[in-house]
């Protein structure tokens, strides 16, 4: 893994203290969040395992992306244009006409919708957490990249002849 693939995204050092039996104990709590790019996907599971063994105690998310996103978006757009042409041709044919030159072409932007939910949170006991981890252990033995869907939508207006 190259140094360029690891980026600190959050760093905090906060003083804390407590008093027990009249004795004040002061200490600092450090937190650091890293963003890591894994280019060799089969190594992800061993990387996560090494992270936990090194003291990492929280993994917020894993996001899968392709390094060839532009190429796949271009392919999806080409397929969308071909489909628009074929559909327009079929519709014009049903009217006994043909399509001529394209008069307007527009790509429909893709939007990501984020949703938020507010829930009442009750802190589970350590025994509950351990029990849940044991129940989930078979599913947590490895990550699953699955398949990423890349799509494109276009609007094309053709003249009818």
52-73 pLDDT, tens per residue? 888 888 888 888 888 888 999 9
Q: Is residue 123 part of a domain?
A: no
Q: What six digits make up the tokens of 84? A: 């628009």
**Residues 45 and 4 grouped into a single domain:** yes
Place 142 in a pLDDT band, splitting at 50, 70 and 90: low
Q: Is residue 17 part of a domain?
A: yes
Task: Report which secondary-structure segment, H or E, holds 100.
Answer: strand 99-108
Tell me the CA distances in angstroms from 35 to 11, 61, 81, 109, one per residue in order: 12, 10, 37, 27
- Tell me how many domains the chain contains: 2
- Residue from 7, 5, 6, 29 nearest 16 by CA: 29
Residue with tokens 């351990």: 130
Q: How far apart are CA 80 and CA 151, in angstroms?
A: 9
- The answer to whether 100 touches 159, Cβ cutoff 8 Å, is yes
Instruction: State the residue range of the domain holding 158.
Output: 67-110+150-161
State the pTM of this model. Answer: 0.53
b or e along 150-161 (b: 16 or more beta carbons within 10 Å of the residue's beta carbon)? eebebebebeee
**Residues 74 and 57 grouped into a single domain:** no
b or e along 65-77 (b: 16 or more beta carbons within 10 Å of the residue's beta carbon)? eeeeeeeebeebb
**Residue 113 reports pLDDT greater than 70:** no
Average confidence (pLDDT) over 23-50: 88
Neighbouring residues of 107: CB distance < 8 A, sequence distance ≥ 6: 77, 152, 153, 154, 155
**Residues 2 and 52 grouped into a single domain:** yes
């Amino acid at each position: 893994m190259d140094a360029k693939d690891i980026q600190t995204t959050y760093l905090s050092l906060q003083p804390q203290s407590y008093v027990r039996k009249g004795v004040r104990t002061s200490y600092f709590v450090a937190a650091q969040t890293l963003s890591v790019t894994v280019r060799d996907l089969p190594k992800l599971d061993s990387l996560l395992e090494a992270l936990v063994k090194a003291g990492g105690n929280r993994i917020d998310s894993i996001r899968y992306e392709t390094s060839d996103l532009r190429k796949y978006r271009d392919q999806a757009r080409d397929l969308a244009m071909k489909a628009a042409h074929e559909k327009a041709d079929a519709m014009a044919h049903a009217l006994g006409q043909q399509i001529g030159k394209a008069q307007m072409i527009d790509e429909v932007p893709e939007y990501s919708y984020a949703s938020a939910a507010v829930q009442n949170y009750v802190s589970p006991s350590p025994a509950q957490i351990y029990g849940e981890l044991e129940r989930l252990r078979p599913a947590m033995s490895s990550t699953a990249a699955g398949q990423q869907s890349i799509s494109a939508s276009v609007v094309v207006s053709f003249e009818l002849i």
